[in-house]
Structure 1
């Protein structure tokens, strides 16, 4: 195994560990009800009061999971990496590690404007850092030869889904705190739309170039 491949694996393993720890810490912020009674109704009430925490856990679990999946996909396309990826990668991991706090703040204060805006702003920062990281990582010299240029274009474009959804959620949090989080459900849809548009555009560029090359021969 070459030194570059070994270093790339170390970077990937470290990143995976941070994602795993952050996604696990989410559940720690859901505090178990401790009641001095065996009454079923009391426990049902206590569990219903934890509903914002459950929703925050699910939402952040899916977001961090999506961030990890995208990170995994991009680094799987690489055969080497530039030292310039270290800064955006570490900053992204810092925000991911911070997300359990942002989630707990939002979950403990449902329908409050500032916690909702703080959570959305955290997601926006994570999305922008991810897009920066992918832009630096997916340099032609570092991408595996077997990876098509259209696939790289699709991955670059789909990285805009999270920051756009987070920005919309942040703006809506001012007037509709709580319900603004439903905008984040658009992330999978935006991801597919951005990816397909970018791939289609890249194919329109690649195919004419290939045809011109054939004509020249």
Structure 2
């Protein structure tokens, strides 16, 4: 397959992925139903909005998680200049999980403090994180990566993909003991991603120094 054909296939894969991410992240708000209040009493409206707090929290949390999945996907695929059919199925399975997240979010946010919905939600995030990790492990190999991408950035991208699986695993365990409160562990995903990325860069730089010694 020619270079131009490979580039076209990679663009098609990226555009399709972006569309699925965009649709999934938009569908989250559909599960936040507008309250119907009889009358014009301000207190009734505030009460109705307060009853939506779990749905709004679920929307915000999943919006950020899907957004981080998309940003990582965007970052890694921006490092590529070649295409392989090996990317198709791992990418498709990741997108299937992303498209499923509005349902998992609705189940969790509609049943606050319930163990099974929280386990189901955290489990869905864990599957998404592991699928993304697998996808990046396949994509970030020669000859698919651009030659101008520093090796430490390639390693950092691989390592940072462990941030979501780590947070989701912690949340999954905590959901058994403190359902509902386990969701707050997921707020630490950006911190874990940065921590893993920094560790990956240091590891890559140490390997470069050792190789040059």
Match among 70, 73, 76 for residue 74 of structure 1:
76
RMSD: 0.9
Q: Give, in angstroms, the shift of residue 85 of structure 1.
A: 0.9
2:160 and 2:48 map into 1 onto residues whose CA distance is 40
Q: Deviations along 1:55-93, whole A, 9 cap, x unmatched?
A: 000000000000000000000000012211111100000
Match of 2:99 in 1: 97
Name the CA distance, whole Å, in 1 between partners of 2:41 and 2:206. Answer: 66
Deviation at 1:36, TM superposition (A): 2.1
Please give the per-residue CA displacement for 1:99-153, whole angstroms capped at 9, x wherever unaligned. Answer: 0010010010000000000000000000000000000111111000000111100
Segments ≥4 residues shifted beyond 4 Å: none
Given candidates 21, 24, 31, the residue that maps to 1:22 is: 24
Residue 206 of structure 1, CA deviation: 1.0
Question: Which residues in structure 2 correspond to 1:167-182 (within 5 Å)?
Answer: 167-182=169-184
Query: Is 1:183 equivalent to 2:185 in the alignment?
Result: yes
Write the distance in 1 (CA, Å) between the matches of 2:108 and 2:210.
Answer: 50
Q: Could you say which residue in structure 1 is the equivalent of 2:113? A: 111
Match of 1:124 among 126, 151, 155: 126
Q: Name stretches of at least 5 consecutive residues in structure 2 with no aligned partner.
A: none
1-side partners of 2:68 and 2:169: how far apart?
17
TM-score (norm 2): 0.97
Residue in structure 1 matched with residue 196 of structure 2 by the alignment: 194
Confirm or deny that 1:52 pairs with 2:54.
yes
Max Rg structure:
1
